[in-house]
Amino acid sequence: MIVIDTHVLVWWATAGRDQLPLAARRAIVDADSIAISAITAWEIGILSARGRIDIGPRPNDWLHEIIDANSLIVLPVTIPIAALAAELHEILRDPIDCLIAATALTHGVPLVTKDERIQRSGVVATIW
């Protein structure tokens, strides 16, 4: 299993696949399962509402379509994940990044992300 960051999901599911480097595309294709954090749904909704991504008028419908079509696993934000995310805040700063990284860490899997702060931190194994 791998966890993919929000921007990876958007690019992978849209015409932005070319923005994913070969290592990220290969990790997605080769993974036995692909997961996202439940917080990704919130982030997608916010990005859509602010006009930063164009996925149609109903982000919820888009998400369900992508999740179903690709058999994605949606991992909940549990108390252990939230507690670990709080510990990561001093390093990563962005609360959503903390939750996504903590999700990958808790499940012991790599995170596919372009986020350089997460990559440089070394708190979780990353693929890019």
CB 85 within 8 A of CB 94: no
Residues in the chain: 128
Q: Which of 43, 38, 47 is nearest to 103 (CA)?
A: 38
Query: Which range of residues forms the domain containing residue 44?
Result: 2-127
**CA separation for the pair 86, 58 (Å, rounded):** 31
Return the CATH number at 36. Answer: 3.40.50.1010
Number of domains in the chain: 1
pLDDT string in tens for the chain (128-residue length)? 999 999 999 999 988 888 999 999 999 999 999 999 999 999 999 999 999 999 998 999 999 999 999 999 999 999 999 999 999 999 999 999 999 999 999 999 999 999 999 999 999 999 99
* Distance, CA of 47 to CA of 55 (rounded, Å): 10
What pLDDT shows up at residue 90? 97
Per-residue pLDDT, 48: 96
For residues 22 and 28, give the distance between their C-alpha atoms in angstroms, rounded to a whole number: 10
Tokens found for residue 83: 């507690």
User: Helices 22-30 and 6-13, interaxial angle, to 10°?
Assistant: 80
